[in-house]
């Protein structure tokens, strides 16, 4: 909402510079987005929070200024008594079919108006406030709306046939609004009709059929309060927001419509020579104030500062709240325009913000510290750290992505969670795998880097329901190795397992999956599936424009965490280990896992470690070189025992079909 400073000065004295005023308003909760200078006047653009309907007006802002600086607020007088119709009686019959839609209003007829351009002061004030000047009649209704916060509408009396009736629209009913657009209304929009036609899309925009024009001499002035929800829904469905709807959808002062009518009628008579031609009919001219009681001690207990009774009364009085202390209870009378103040805590907020939060002492909480273990997020910090140590770069990609990207990664978008109200196609589906972000990042970087590895930790989303009735959304950690190979990616993973103290991870050959082609493996911790590792399918790489081989893996964080054992020191062998390198020919059907199993089985309690040192092809046969270490925890192995263990290992290796390339022991 925009308002010129000169206008605010009608109601309250302002001695401060515009910037100083803006700061003071900000600190009490009314943000000034910008100050613009037009014709030596400062035009403030205010950002008013949705609870403060009263501040969507010049008087409301002026009242805040008066409270901040402890100054007098002067508002234009309304009719001191209800005036009698000045000219011959013209009656309007206004019916409300559903009281809920329009619980309160004032209405009356004003005739002898002379339609013409507004006087300069009026046109300028409106234009500085961002509202186009149209003619004096329409301008006055807009002016009073900006002044008081109460929107209103003027109809041309002669264009209305018979009685006026306010009701809910049926779906698809049509009306041409003042902007010349034919609008098809949703069920439940508030409309006003006469005996023949729709004349108003109530709360949003008037109808063209009853528009004020140059020939208008008699107007029906209608100052209503509508059901905020009905206005808000219609506004959202039609995608139409107006100055009026922005106010009607909030809690307006229930008794403000009468003042609004009287103020507009006064301006119509002084500016457009109009005169009241009917009674002013006011319905639901309501309660003026409300009473809230609160324990006086709750103010200090909540704010943490101790204010005297006098300070509290003074602050509340500056906001036009009347206060009295009854024993330990504070009784506060809240004026009707403060529709946001309903509970004791609302009173405490008013005291806090006007007193000024920056004057509060700043203390630290003194209570007991909840003593609980650090939760799983710390585990996430730990694995992030490990991946960083391994030379991988962490990325953050969007978890909301496009159907096209998901399809490119080989997933069917119809299997993925999707927002029902997308704004742009780039943000429509929830990622089923972290790999979509990693692949996109690989594409971004391949121009500038020949080789890199990336990782991300975050949630992926599945349609299936989890235990808490929400869709399953587990945390995963995934890595992508660009221009790399299987062994390198698996090596990184093994390093992570070592860091997390996870023993016994099993890699089993995997069939081709959504993301990976051969070489690919399923990873198990015990019997629990942890994730997959493998080569990104060439067709996926092609769709992401990735032009060098990429490998990756994706693991379930919770599975990883639950298998991570606390580190416990394993004694370093006191006696020397025996190190032995063995060359083996391996037939196709024998895997390294079989070799490892055979060595462990053969060495038994003497087993210390096993490494794969070389893996090559010799004359089309697979030849590997393994480094075996064995020991005895209680003494140095003698020659005999060493020979015995070696023999057992070779025997087991031969048993699985491996062919040791050394001469058998004599």
| Contacts (CB under 8 A) with other proteins, residues 199-218 | none
Residue with Cβ nearer other proteins (369 or 572): 369
Residue with Cβ nearer other proteins (427 or 524): 427
Backbone angles phi, psi at 68, to 5 degrees: -65, -50
Which stretch of DSSP H or E encloses residue 355? helix 344-355
Least separation in angstroms between residue 395's CB and other proteins is 4
Instruction: Name residue, tokens 């469905």.
Output: 237
Residue with Cβ nearer other proteins (94 or 461): 461
**How many residues line the site for other proteins (CB under 8 A)?**
91
Sign of CA dihedral 587, 593, 596, 602: negative
Q: Both ends of the chain: CA-CA distance in Å?
A: 99
Q: Among 151, 52, 49, 53, which Cα is nearest to 102's?
A: 151
Residue ranges in 15-54 that form contacts with other proteins under rule CB under 8 A: 26-29, 49-52
Cβ-Cβ contacts under 8 Å for 613 (sequence gap 6 or more): 581, 624, 625, 626, 627
Q: What share of the chain is helix, strand, coil (3-state, %, to 5)?
A: 30, 25, 40
Distance of CA 439 to the CA centre of its chain: 27
Among 222, 232, 646, 648, binds other proteins (CB under 8 A): 232
- Choices 8-16, 180-188, 389-397, 563-571; region in contact with other proteins by CB under 8 A: 389-397
Among 71, 290, 384, 641, binds other proteins (CB under 8 A): 384
- x/- mask, other proteins, residues 595-614, rule CB under 8 A, reads --------------------
Rounded to an integer, what distance in angstroms lies between the CA atom of residue 46 and that of residue 461? Answer: 41
Among 161, 336, 398, 623, binds other proteins (CB under 8 A): 398
Q: If binding is defined by CB under 8 A, does position 390 make contact with other proteins?
A: yes
Residue with Cβ nearer other proteins (106 or 453): 453
- x/- mask, other proteins, residues 499-538, rule CB under 8 A, reads ----------------------------------------
Encode burial over 592-612: b for 16+ CB neighbours within 10 A, e otherwise: bebbeebbeebbeebbeebee
Residue with Cβ nearer other proteins (131 or 454): 454
Task: Give the number of residues written for the chain.
Answer: 666
Among 172, 180, 310, 375, binds other proteins (CB under 8 A): 375
Strand pairing report for 528-536 and 275-276: unpaired
Among 73, 75, 240, 303, binds other proteins (CB under 8 A): 303
Q: If binding is defined by CB under 8 A, does position 273 make contact with other proteins?
A: no
- Choices 94-102, 279-287, 328-336, 419-427; region in contact with other proteins by CB under 8 A: 419-427
Q: If binding is defined by CB under 8 A, does position 565 make contact with other proteins?
A: no
Least separation in angstroms between residue 212's CB and other proteins is 30
Among 128, 167, 250, 313, binds other proteins (CB under 8 A): 250
Least separation in angstroms between residue 13's CB and other proteins is 23
Rounded to an integer, what distance in angstroms lies between the CA atom of residue 94 and that of residue 71? Answer: 42
Residue ranges in 341-370 that form contacts with other proteins under rule CB under 8 A: 343, 345-346, 348-349, 352-353, 357-358, 360-370
Instruction: Name residue, tokens 């270490």.
Output: 629
DSSP state, residue 207? B
Residue with Cβ nearer other proteins (266 or 337): 337
Q: If binding is defined by CB under 8 A, does position 237 make contact with other proteins?
A: no
Residue with Cβ nearer other proteins (68 or 107): 68
Give ∠ CA 330-331-336 in degrees, rounded to 5. Answer: 140
Backbone angles phi, psi at 237, to 5 degrees: -65, -40
Among 67, 131, 201, 395, binds other proteins (CB under 8 A): 395
Rounded to an integer, what distance in angstroms lies between the CA atom of residue 130 and that of residue 36? Answer: 12
What is the SS3 assignment for 455?
A: strand
Residue ranges in 438-497 that form contacts with other proteins under rule CB under 8 A: 440-441, 444-445, 448-449, 452-454, 458-459, 461, 468, 470-471, 473, 475
Cβ-Cβ contacts under 8 Å for 223 (sequence gap 6 or more): 105, 106, 107, 150, 152, 257, 258, 260, 261, 264
Among 417, 495, 625, 656, binds other proteins (CB under 8 A): 417
Q: If binding is defined by CB under 8 A, does position 374 make contact with other proteins?
A: yes
Among 108, 437, 531, 552, binds other proteins (CB under 8 A): 437
């Amino acid at each position: 909402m925009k308002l010129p400073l000169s206008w605010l000065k009608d109601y309250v004295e302002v001695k401060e510079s515009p910037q100083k005023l803006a700061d003071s308003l900000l600190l009490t909760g009314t943000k000034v987005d910008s100050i613009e200078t037009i014709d030596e006047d400062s035009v403030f653009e205010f950002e008013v929070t949705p609870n403060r309907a009263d501040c969507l007006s010049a008087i409301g802002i002026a009242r805040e200024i008066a409270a901040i600086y402890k100054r007098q607020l002067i508002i234009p007088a309304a009719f001191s008594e209800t005036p009698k119709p000045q000219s011959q009686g013209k009656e309007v019959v206004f019916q409300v079919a559903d009281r809920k839609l329009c619980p309160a209003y004032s209405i009356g007829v004003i005739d002898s108006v002379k339609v013409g351009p507004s006087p300069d002061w009026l046109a300028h004030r409106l234009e500085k406030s961002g509202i186009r000047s149209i003619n004096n009649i329409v301008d006055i209704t807009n002016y009073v709306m900006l002044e008081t916060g109460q929107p209103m509408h003027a109809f041309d009396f002669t264009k209305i046939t018979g009685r006026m009736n306010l009701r809910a629209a049926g779906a698809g009913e049509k009306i041409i609004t003042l902007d010349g657009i034919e609008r098809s209304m949703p069920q439940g929009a508030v409309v006003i009709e006469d005996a023949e036609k729709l004349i108003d899309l109530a709360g949003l925009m008037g109808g063209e059929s009853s528009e004020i024009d140059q020939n208008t001499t008699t107007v029906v002035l209608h100052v209503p309060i509508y059901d905020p929800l009905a206005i808000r829904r219609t506004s959202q469905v039609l995608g139409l927001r107006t100055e009026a709807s922005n106010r009607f959808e909030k809690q307006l002062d229930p008794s403000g419509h009468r003042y609004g009518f009287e103020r507009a009628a006064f301006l119509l008579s002084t500016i457009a020579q109009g005169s009241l031609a009917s009674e002013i009919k006011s319905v639901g001219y309501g309660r003026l104030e409300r009473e809230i009681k609160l324990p006086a001690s709750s103010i200090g207990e909540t704010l943490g500062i101790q204010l005297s009774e006098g300070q509290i009364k003074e602050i509340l009085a500056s906001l036009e709240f009347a206060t009295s202390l009854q024993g330990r209870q504070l009784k506060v009378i809240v004026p009707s325009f403060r529709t946001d103040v309903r509970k004791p805590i609302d009173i405490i907020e008013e005291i806090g913000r006007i007193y000024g939060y920056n004057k509060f002492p700043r203390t630290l909480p003194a209570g007991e510290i909840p003593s609980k273990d650090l939760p799983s997020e710390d585990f996430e910090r730990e694995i992030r750290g490990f991946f960083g140590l391994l030379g991988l770069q962490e990325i953050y990609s969007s978890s909301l992505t496009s159907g096209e990207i998901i399809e490119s990664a080989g997933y069917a978008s119809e299997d993925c969670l999707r927002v029902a109200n997308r704004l742009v196609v780039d943000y429509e589906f929830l990622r089923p795998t972290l790999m979509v972000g990693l692949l996109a990042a690989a594409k971004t970087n391949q121009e500038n880097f020949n080789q890199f590895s990336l990782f991300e930790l975050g949630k992926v989303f599945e349609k299936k329901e989890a235990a808490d009735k929400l869709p399953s959304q587990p945390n995963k950690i995934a890595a992508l190795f660009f221009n790399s190979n299987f062994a390198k990616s698996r090596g990184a993973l093994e390093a992570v397992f070592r860091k997390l103290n996870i023993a016994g991870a099993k890699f089993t050959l995997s069939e081709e999956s959504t993301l990976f082609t051969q070489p690919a493996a399923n990873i198990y911790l015990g019997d629990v599936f942890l994730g997959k590792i493998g080569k990104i399918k060439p067709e996926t790489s092609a769709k992401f424009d990735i032009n060098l081989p990429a490998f990756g893996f994706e693991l379930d964080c919770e599975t990883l965490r639950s298998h991570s054992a606390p580190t416990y020191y394993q004694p370093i062998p006191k006696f020397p280990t025996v190190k032995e390198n063995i060359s083996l020919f391996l037939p196709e059907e024998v895997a390294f896992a079989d070799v490892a199993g055979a060595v462990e089985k053969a060495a038994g309690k003497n087993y210390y470690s096993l490494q794969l040192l070389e893996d090559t092809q010799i004359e089309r046969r697979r030849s590997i070189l393994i480094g075996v270490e064995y020991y005895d925890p209680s003494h140095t192995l003698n020659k005999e025992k060493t020979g015995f263990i070696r023999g057992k290992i070779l025997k087991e290796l031969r048993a699985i079909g491996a062919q040791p390339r050394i001469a058998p022991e004599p």
